[in-house]
Structure 1
Amino acid sequence: MSDASDCEQPPENTEQTETIPIVDLEPSLALPPPPPEDEWGPIPEHTNVNASRFSFSLYGIIPVILGIFSLLLLMLCGFFGYQYFQSVQESESKMKSFNQWNESFQNKEKKFIQVQKLLDQNKEILEKLQNQNKNMTEALQELKAKGGDGCGSPLSHWVQHRDHCYYQTMKTVSWSECSDLCVFWNATFLNTERSRLMCILKLLAVNQTWLGLSYKEKDNEWKWEDGSLPSGLKWSLPKPSMDFQGKCVYAGVHTVGIDNCTMSSSCLCEKPVCA
C-alpha cells in the first residue's frame, strides 16, 4: 500500500498563477513624498547670512556703476562742449576773414570806379589830342601843297592861309599885353573878323588863345580892336550886358569863349604874306 501511495501523483494545482512583467519588477525611482507642513523644521541660520551678504554687495555695486556712468556722461559733455567751442571760434574767425575780404573788395571796387573815371577822362583827352593831331596833319599837308615860303620856314610855327600868315604865341600873357607881344613878332594882334577865321583856328590847332575881341563898356557891345562888330562869332557870344565888364574873347579849335582879360593865355597874331 505504501507503494501505491508512493506512486500516487500529487494533485494538480488548479489555481492560476499571475504573470508579472519584467518591467514591473524593476525598482521605482520616484522620490519620497515631502513631509507634512507640521513636520517642517526652521531654516538654518547660515542661509539668512548669505542672503544678507548678497543684498549688501548688490547695494554697494549699484552706486559704483552709476558713478562710472555719470563720469562717462560728464566726459562726453566736456568733449562735445570743447568741440562746440572750437567750432564757434572757427566760425568767428571765418566771419572775420570774410568781413576783411568784403571790405578789401569794396575798397578795390571804389578804386576801380576811380580808375574807370580817370580812363574816361583820359579817353576824352586822347580824342581831343587825336582831333588836334588830325588838324595839324591837314594843316601840314596844306602848307606842303602851298609851299608856305611867304611866312618863312614851317619850323617857325607860322601858317599861311591865303594872303596872310598866322601865329599862336608860345608865351602866355594877359589880353592887354597881346598887342605888344605880336609887335615883337613884326605882326599885329588879330583884330578883325574874316570868314576864314575858323579855318585859321583849325590850321593852328589852337588850344586856347586870345582874339582881339572884347566887351566895350562904353558901347555895351562886343567889338574887335578895329571897331568892327563880330558877325560870324555873333551866335557864339552871350548877349552884351554890364555883367561882362573886363571880359575878353578867346578861341579854341571848335569853340569860342569868354574869360577875365587878366588871365594868361597865348595870343593870335597875323601879318601879310611876305612879298
Structure 2
Amino acid sequence: MAGCLSRVSLPLLLLFISLVLFFVLLVTIQVQVPEKQREAEVKAILQQLAWMNSSLSSLANFCLPCPWNWGYFHDSCYFVSWAQKTWNASVVACKDQKAQLVIIKSAEEQRFLQSLKNKNNVRQAWIGLSDHHNEGAWHWVDNTKPQVSFWNDGEPNNVGDEDCVELNNNGWNDNKCTAENFWICKKPSSPCSSL
C-alpha cells in the first residue's frame, strides 16, 4: 500500500455502502410508494447506482506517488522528520521507512530540499553525507562520492571533529555526528500498478 490508496479495500467499502443504501431505498419505495411511481423510482436508483459504480472505478485507479506527509520531486519522495536524532539514529530512522538519508544529486534538488526544510520550519537537517570512515573523504550513505557540493562559505571546517553533514541556511555544514538534528529521508516514488 506504501503511497497508494488501497485499490481493493476502499472501492469495496464504498460499493458495500452503496448496496446497503440501494436496498434501504428499495424497501422504502416498496412500502411507501404506489406501484407506478415505484418503477420510476427504481429506475432512478439504478441510474444513480451506475453513476456510483463509475465513480468507484475511477477511485480504484487513483494513486498517490508518495506516502501521506512526504514531499514529491522528480520521481522521489522526501520526508522531513518531526523529531531530532543523531546522524546514525537518523540513518536507522530512514531505513525503518524503507528509505535512506537523503543523497543530493543536483542544484535543483538542493533548492527543493531547502524549500521543503523551510516549509517544515526546520533550521537544519541531516543529509546522508559523512566522512566518519576517513577524514576528508566525503561519502554518501550508499558509499558513493558526491558529484556536486553545496558547502556554505568556510565549510567543511571540521571544528571539534565534525564528520556528518547537515543542510542549513542555503548550503551544507559539517557538524558532530552526535548532535541531534531533524533529518530528511528519500526513497523512490511508487508507480501505480494495475490490478
TM-score w.r.t. length of structure 1: 0.40
Write the letter of the residue equivalent to 1:158: W
Summarize the Cα distance change of 1:237–1:210 in structure 2 as closer, same or farther, 3 Å threshold: farther
Summarize the Cα distance change of 1:148–1:172 in structure 2 as closer, same or farther, 3 Å threshold: farther
Summarize the Cα distance change of 1:252–1:267 in structure 2 as closer, same or farther, 3 Å threshold: same
State the SS of the aligned residue for 1:221. Answer: coil
Summarize the Cα distance change of 1:213–1:160 in structure 2 as closer, same or farther, 3 Å threshold: same
Q: Which has the higher strand share?
A: 2
1:149 matched to 2:60? The reply is: no
Write the letter of the residue equivalent to 2:163: K
User: Partners in 2 of 1:239 and 1:203 — Cα distance?
Assistant: 21
Summarize the Cα distance change of 1:268–1:170 in structure 2 as closer, same or farther, 3 Å threshold: same
User: Partners in 1 of 2:76 and 2:132 — Cα distance?
Assistant: 27
Q: Tell me which residue corresponds to 1:212.
A: 128
State the SS of the aligned residue for 1:173. Answer: coil
Identify which of 64, 71, 80 aligns with 1:159: 71
Verify the 8 A CA contact 2:163 2:176 in the aligned structure 1.
yes
CA deviation profile, 1:204-244 (whole Å, cap 9, x unmatched): 12421001111245363222122222243265475778766
CA deviation profile, 1:48-95 (whole Å, cap 9, x unmatched): xxxxxxxxxxxxxxxxxxxxxxxxxxxxxxxxxxxxxxxxxxxxxxxx
Q: Tell me which residue corresponds to 1:269.
A: 185
Summarize the Cα distance change of 1:207–1:240 in structure 2 as closer, same or farther, 3 Å threshold: closer
Q: Tell me which residue corresponds to 1:180.
A: 92
Compare relative contact order (CA 8 Å, sep 6+) and give the higher one, 1 or 2: 2
User: Partners in 2 of 1:229 and 1:263 — Cα distance?
Assistant: 23
Q: Tell me which residue corresponds to 2:81.
A: 169
Q: Tell me which residue corresponds to 1:230.
A: 146
Summarize the Cα distance change of 1:234–1:207 in structure 2 as closer, same or farther, 3 Å threshold: closer
Between the two proteins, the alignment pairs up a number of residues equal to 125
User: Partners in 2 of 1:265 and 1:240 — Cα distance?
Assistant: 18
Write the letter of the residue equivalent to 2:189: V
Verify the 8 A CA contact 1:247 1:260 in the aligned structure 2.
yes
Q: Considering only aligned residues, what root-mean-square deviation do their CA atoms show, in Å?
A: 2.8
Shift of 1:185: 2.2
User: Partners in 2 of 1:228 and 1:267 — Cα distance?
Assistant: 19
Verify the 8 A CA contact 1:210 1:265 in the aligned structure 2.
yes
User: Percent of pairs identical after alignment?
Assistant: 24
Larger radius of gyration: 1
TM-score w.r.t. length of structure 2: 0.54
User: Partners in 2 of 1:245 and 1:210 — Cα distance?
Assistant: 16
Q: Tell me which residue corresponds to 1:193.
A: 104
Identify which of 171, 176, 184 aligns with 1:260: 176
